[in-house]
Structure 1
Amino acid sequence: MTTKEELAERYGRAPRPRRRRLYWIAVTGVAALLVAALAWLTVANSFDDVGFDETGFELVDARTVTVSFQATPPAGAAFACAVQALDEDFGIVGWRVVEYPGSEETTRAFVETIPTVAQATTGTVKACWVT
């Protein structure tokens, strides 16, 4: 006759070794730490984010474009924006980096003039960042 221990050994019902359980606890802990670190990096990067919305552009003449936009920097933070003028093939024909002082206003509107080296067809904001 077979005993319970022989059946458990034959069909895999033996208790799991302690070492294997500790391995999976460690793997789960490391995975949880990596997810938490990634979440923190995502949140921390958004604190210094400057949002912007283009509100229009005007072709003043063959060598000048004005670009209108709104920027939403963090409160009190100085920031800069790269504004550019593009031709019909989307080549850059003029650009300018403009720096703005910090302010407690949430959203601020700007109109910037860009000199160009050729006829432009549009003006746009390339990027804004905290300085």
Structure 2
Amino acid sequence: MDHDAPLDRLRCAERSLRRRRWRVGNYWAVEPPVAADLVGTAVQYQMWHALALVGVAWLSDDPWVPDGVVGVAGGCFLLGILLFCGTLCATAAEGVPLFPLSAPAGGLLLVAGWIGLGAAGLMRR
């Protein structure tokens, strides 16, 4: 089994995004290299935090971990992914974020999700 295959696919997708021209109407929303970097960053954050959601699902079955801690961590991850990565993609496509301070709010939610996941992991016996 080739363990580098998922990373090779991700690199291939990132290269193809770098070659795409991000054009909206008759003007450039964001310069193509910058847009590709934004989308590449969004994809990487989505991938890592999706793995964190797998950890949340794994800890949700543990009887020693309170459901509230795991539920809050999962909700923070989900909303954080939507806000942070969605803002990066919207900025790449349209040149305008979803709403002011949406990326920092999403980043704070992702940090809160990691803190909740760490707390749930420490409660596990």
Is the pair's TM-score, using the shorter chain for normalization, greater than 0.5? no
Q: Which has the larger radius of gyration?
A: 1
More helix by share: 2
More strand by share: 1
Shorter-normalised TM-score: what interval?
under 0.3
